[in-house]
Amino acid sequence: MDEIPVLCLPFAGAGASAFRRAQEYPSELVRICPLQLPGREERFDEPAFTDAVAAVDDLLPIALDLVAGSPAVAVFGHSLGAVLAFELAHRLRQLPRPELVRVFVSGSPGPWTRRENRATGMTDEDFLSQVRGFAGYSHPALEHPELREMLLPTLRADVEMHENYLAPPDRLLDVPITSIRGSQDELVSREQAAEWNAASTAGCQLREVPGNHMYLVDSPAELVRLMDSELAPAVSR
């Protein structure tokens, strides 16, 4: 087995370009394959989903096209992307090929923990303030009124999708999970990141990397290096 494609799902409001810098980081083991949700970038004119299951149903054929011919695949998701990655992993496990070898979930409590403070339904200003608090990060485009008006519907849909998601209690995977947390993350505690241990019968490794909740924006190289390390056993089989 050679290179393993990693299907990547971004945080709320972000598109596939969030992984552009990670794609530029050299790796002989990992091929970063971002997935594009509707409502952003080249899919801007498509309505964004507010339901995680429906969103993953839409992404599955796109994902399979990206990894066509690969014997193995992994998935990665950050924050909202983590629950989408979890759902996508279940879809992939129902297929004979490619083999799902690992699931990376990042910056997220386990799939049975809902956020206590919600932003859905708030006024624009209160919504953006709440989301900044959730993420510890705000895209510069949201500071420009015209761009904000264009981007808000998709961001609102993503936040609603994340806040409404709750996995069924028996929704377990049988592939290993790696739960990743920025070591200075003030939004997701080490204990919350470790909740993913209950989501797989094949075990879960908790890994911390330098940085805060949005470590992957500041230091994508750390993420790729971690993927290299975690996927090396699968490549050497």
CATH at 170: 3.40.50.1820
Q: Residue 79 contacts by C-beta under 8 Å, 6 or more apart in sequence?
A: 11, 12, 106, 107, 108, 135, 162, 213
Strand, helix or coil for residue 151: helix
Return the residue matching tokens 């429906």: 54
Q: How many domains does the chain have?
A: 1
Residue pointed to by tokens 């990042």: 106
Q: Give which of 98, 87, 109 is closest to 9, Cα–Cα.
A: 87
* pLDDT attached to residue 217: 87
Tell me what pLDDT residue 26 has: 85
Average pLDDT of the residues of the chain: 88
Q: Between 136 and 183, whose confidence is greater?
A: 183
Q: Which range of residues forms the domain containing residue 126? A: 4-235
User: Which pLDDT belongs to residue 155?
Assistant: 85
Strands of the chain, DSSP E = 4-9, 30-34, 72-78, 99-106, 177-182, 204-209
Provide the pLDDT confidence category of residue 154 given band limits of 50, 70 and 90.
confident
209-237 residue pLDDT tens: 999 988 988 889 999 999 999 999 876 65
pLDDT of residue 126: 72
Distance of CA 93 to the CA centre of its chain: 18
